[in-house]
């Protein structure tokens, strides 16, 4: 009789929720073929330059097509990644370095690509932040693309993975994530990847359960083993017993049922058990995001991240270009409220034309409104564009990264001046993003200039806990659902009880915290499109006031 393998339970960090069952497929060769440098003669140098240029031009075209496809089919933020790859690939200093490598070391184009990109990758890897680590993934991804093009390889390294498997691998490069979009992988287990990484972003958009932080997901003993992946809790049960499978299946069926019910009711209003109607809006970056959101029951756009209109441009857009971009993005939400956030650059959102923003501590530097105050023309262009848009849309304005009350009053003044000039009598409502502890604690002063407040808990958490939201090394300090954050929300609400409060950070999309958020006075939630049905359904089962069974006993009689 064959011996049954022992059940193994491993814990990781959930980076994309969901439940899945499948056979583990350990994948090792994501990192590309390991080849030795190929020497060439001096007379072949020109030929290698030409091969490199041809491959670069081909890849550049491929990347631009890929960016368009990903924006349409998956997510605008992931599409930006490929737009950036294209910019990197065509960077003149990088091209120069590649040519120097070929002539200097007399190696072929492929070997030069490998050596140069590896140097860049390692430079980024030495840096602490997740942004730099993502850049190192980007370098590895472009390098692999280029080397495959030079070698005439047209298949993707993940081609061999079986349908329905639980993929276990070290890390996912951006192109791997897009490749997986067309496959039926049931879950992914990673060694590296924080909640802010590209891999996490992709997995959440695709509804693919994903857990990271396994010290060695590549252990071959796990190859072929049955796994129950609970990416809601980060627990994976390998070689489960019958009883564990049955419990897991029950949980799975219950979740499926809840989700189906939520989808069927997604277009209806989200009214709490005590009769309060809550607005559920969407976070968007491009028109496809808005389309998906409206189909999923969004009641408008709660956060339009304007950065999309600026990224990948050599010059910032003028008013007309901006209006046309905004109109296109927001069109599916016409007739519903749309909140346009002014450009929030700096830190994790760098701009190609603002290279001067290099700062030693960018998260604490010229971000959001700080940057716009320094470049008032950029601010004016955006306000003019929103004013123009307001004749067609129910538009409102959000000011990002407010710290001081005058971060809002300067925008209010600019807006008033423009309205006078354009003879507009009712300007759009103006709101402050509460993303710094100073802003939360100064709400009473800020609302003298703002009509509403919107909590950006992604940033608020990083400043409250002094933990970079992109840095996996300090992830355990980044606690966006901790009591500390809820206290700050409650305190702000108590300070300005009559001011409309919304929340557009990731926390707004986590059903288990909806009830606490409602009790802290949040009345508008803005979240990613796929989360809308389940968040609405959760609101319908929650209370705005404290639920009756938590009241003191004497009040119940």
- Name the site residues for Mg ion (rule: CB under 5 A): 435, 456, 459
Whether the Cβ atoms of residue 304 and residue 341 lie closer than 8 Å to each other: yes
Stretch near ligand PEP under the rule CB under 6 A, chosen from 123-131, 145-153, 233-241, 453-461: 453-461
Q: Among residues 456, 509, 511, 533, which is the contact residue for ligand PEP, using CB under 6 A?
A: 456
> How far is Cα 19 from Cα 256, in angstroms, rounded to an integer?
10
What is the DSSP code (8-state) at residue 357?
Answer: G
Query: Looking at beta carbons only, is 71 or 459 nearer to Mg ion?
Result: 459
Q: Among residues 435, 468, 470, 537, which is the contact residue for ligand PEP, using CB under 6 A?
A: 435
Least CB distance to ligand PEP at residue 457 (A):
5
For residue 217, give the 3-state DSSP assignment: coil
Query: Looking at beta carbons only, is 305 or 449 nearer to ligand PEP?
Result: 305
Name the residue with tokens 């370098």: 139
> How far is Cα 4 from Cα 21, in angstroms, rounded to an integer?
19
Query: Looking at beta carbons only, is 332 or 346 nearer to Mg ion?
Result: 346
305 binds ligand PEP (CB under 6 A): yes
- Angle between the 130-151 and 76-89 helix axes, to the nearest 10 degrees? 60
- Angle between the 457-464 and 483-495 helix axes, to the nearest 10 degrees? 110
Stretch near ligand PEP under the rule CB under 6 A, chosen from 135-143, 208-216, 370-378, 454-462: 454-462
Least CB distance to ligand PEP at residue 361 (A):
17
- In the chain, how many H helices and how many E strands? 19, 17
Least CB distance to ligand PEP at residue 306 (A):
10
288 binds ligand PEP (CB under 6 A): no
457 binds ligand PEP (CB under 6 A): yes
For residue 491, give the 3-state DSSP assignment: helix
75 binds ligand PEP (CB under 6 A): no
Name the residue with tokens 């500390």: 484
Least CB distance to ligand PEP at residue 536 (A):
19
Report the Cα 362 to chain-centroid distance in Å. 19
Own/partner pairs for 252-256, CB < 8 Å, 24+ apart? 252/19, 252/21, 255/19
Pairing of strands 301-305, 337-341: parallel
Residue 102 burial (CB count, 10 A): 24
Which of the choices ligand PEP, Mg ion, none does residue 505 contact, using the CB cut-off of 5 to 8 A by kind? ligand PEP
Query: Looking at beta carbons only, is 214 or 463 nearer to Mg ion?
Result: 463
458 binds ligand PEP (CB under 6 A): yes
DSSP string of 17-68, one letter each residue: --EEEEEEEE--GGG----PPPB--GGGHHHHHHHHHHHHHHHHHHHHHHHH
Query: Looking at beta carbons only, is 117 or 455 nearer to ligand PEP?
Result: 455
Which of the choices ligand PEP, Mg ion, none does residue 201 contact, using the CB cut-off of 5 to 8 A by kind? none
> How far is Cα 542 from Cα 273, in angstroms, rounded to an integer?
6
For residue 377, give the 3-state DSSP assignment: helix
459 binds ligand PEP (CB under 6 A): yes
287 binds ligand PEP (CB under 6 A): no
Smallest CA-to-CA distance from 492 within 517, 525, 528 is with: 517
Whether the Cβ atoms of residue 53 and residue 86 lie closer than 8 Å to each other: no
Query: Looking at beta carbons only, is 459 or 475 nearer to Mg ion?
Result: 459
Query: Looking at beta carbons only, is 252 or 477 nearer to Mg ion?
Result: 477
Which of the choices ligand PEP, Mg ion, none does residue 305 contact, using the CB cut-off of 5 to 8 A by kind? ligand PEP
For the segment 480-509, give every residue that binds ligand PEP (CB under 6 A). 504-505
Which of the choices Mg ion, ligand PEP, none does residue 443 contact, using the CB cut-off of 5 to 8 A by kind? none
Which of the choices Mg ion, ligand PEP, none does residue 457 contact, using the CB cut-off of 5 to 8 A by kind? ligand PEP
> How far is Cα 434 from Cα 338, in angstroms, rounded to an integer?
18
Least CB distance to ligand PEP at residue 75 (A):
14
78 binds ligand PEP (CB under 6 A): no
Q: Tell me which residues touch ligand PEP (CB under 6 A).
A: 303, 305, 344, 435, 456-459, 504-505
């Amino acid at each position: 009789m064959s011996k049954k393998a022992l059940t193994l339970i491993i814990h990781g960090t959930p980076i994309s929720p969901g439940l899945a069952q499948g056979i583990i497929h350990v994948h090792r060769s994501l990192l590309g073929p390991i080849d030795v440098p190929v020497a060439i003669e001096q007379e072949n140098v020109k030929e290698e330059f030409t091969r490199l240029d041809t491959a670069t031009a081909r890849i550049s075209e491929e990347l631009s097509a890929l960016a368009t496809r990903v924006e349409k089919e998956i997510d605008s933020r992931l599409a930006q990644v490929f737009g950036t790859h294209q910019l990197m690939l065509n960077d003149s200093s990088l091209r120069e370095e590649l040519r120097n490598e070929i002539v200097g070391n007399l190696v072929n184009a492929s070997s030069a690509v490998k050596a140069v990109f590896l140097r860049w990758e390692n430079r980024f890897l030495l840096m602490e932040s997740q942004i730099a680590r993502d850049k190192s993934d980007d370098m590895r991804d472009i390098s692999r693309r280029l080397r495959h093009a030079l070698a005439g390889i047209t298949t993707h390294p993940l081609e061999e993975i079986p349908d329905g498997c639980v993929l276990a691998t070290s890390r996912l490069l951006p192109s791997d994530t897009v490749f997986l979009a067309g496959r039926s992988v049931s879950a992914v287990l990673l060694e590296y990847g924080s909640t802010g990484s590209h891999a996490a972003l992709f997995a959440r958009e695709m509804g693919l359960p994903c857990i990271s932080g396994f010290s060695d997901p590549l252990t071959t003993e796990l190859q072929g083993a049955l796994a129950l992946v609970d990416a809601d809790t980060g627990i994976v049960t390998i070689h489960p017993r019958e009883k564990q499978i049955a419990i897991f299946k029950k949980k799975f069926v219950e979740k499926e049922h809840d989700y189906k019910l939520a989808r069927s009711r997604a277009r209806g209003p989200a009214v709490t058990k005590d009769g309060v109607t809550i607005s559920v809006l969407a976070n968007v970056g491009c028109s496809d995001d808005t389309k998906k959101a409206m189909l999923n029951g969004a009641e408008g756009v709660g956060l339009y991240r304007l950065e999309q209109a600026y990224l990948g441009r050599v010059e910032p857009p003028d008013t007309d270009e901006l209006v046309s971009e905004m109109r296109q993005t927001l069109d599916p939400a016409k007739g519903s409220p749309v909140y346009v956030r002014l450009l929030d650059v700096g830190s994790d959102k760098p701009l190609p034309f603002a290279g001067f923003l290099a700062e030693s501590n960018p998260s604490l530097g010229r971000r959001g409104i700080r940057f716009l105050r320094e470049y008032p023309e950029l601010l004016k262009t955006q306000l003019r564009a929103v004013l123009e848009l307001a004749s067609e849309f129910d538009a409102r304005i959000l000011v990002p990264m407010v710290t001081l009350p005058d971060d809002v009053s300067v925008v209010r003044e600019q807006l008033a001046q423009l309205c006078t000039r354009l003879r507009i009598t009712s300007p759009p409502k103006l709101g402050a993003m509460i993303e710094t502890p100073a802003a939360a604690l100064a709400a009473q002063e800020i609302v003298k200039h703002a009509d509403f407040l919107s909590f950006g808990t992604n940033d608020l958490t990083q400043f409250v806990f002094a933990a970079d939201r992109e840095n996996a090394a300090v992830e355990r300090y980044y606690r966006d659902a901790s009591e500390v954050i809820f206290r700050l929300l409650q305190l702000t609400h108590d300070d300005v009880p009559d001011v409309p409060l919304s929340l557009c950070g990731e926390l707004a999309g986590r059903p288990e915290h909806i009830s606490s958020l409602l009790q802290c006075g949040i009345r508008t939630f803005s979240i990613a499109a796929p989360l809308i049905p389940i968040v609405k359904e959760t609101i319908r089962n929650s209370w705005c006031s404290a639920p009756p069974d938590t009241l003191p006993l004497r009040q119940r009689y």
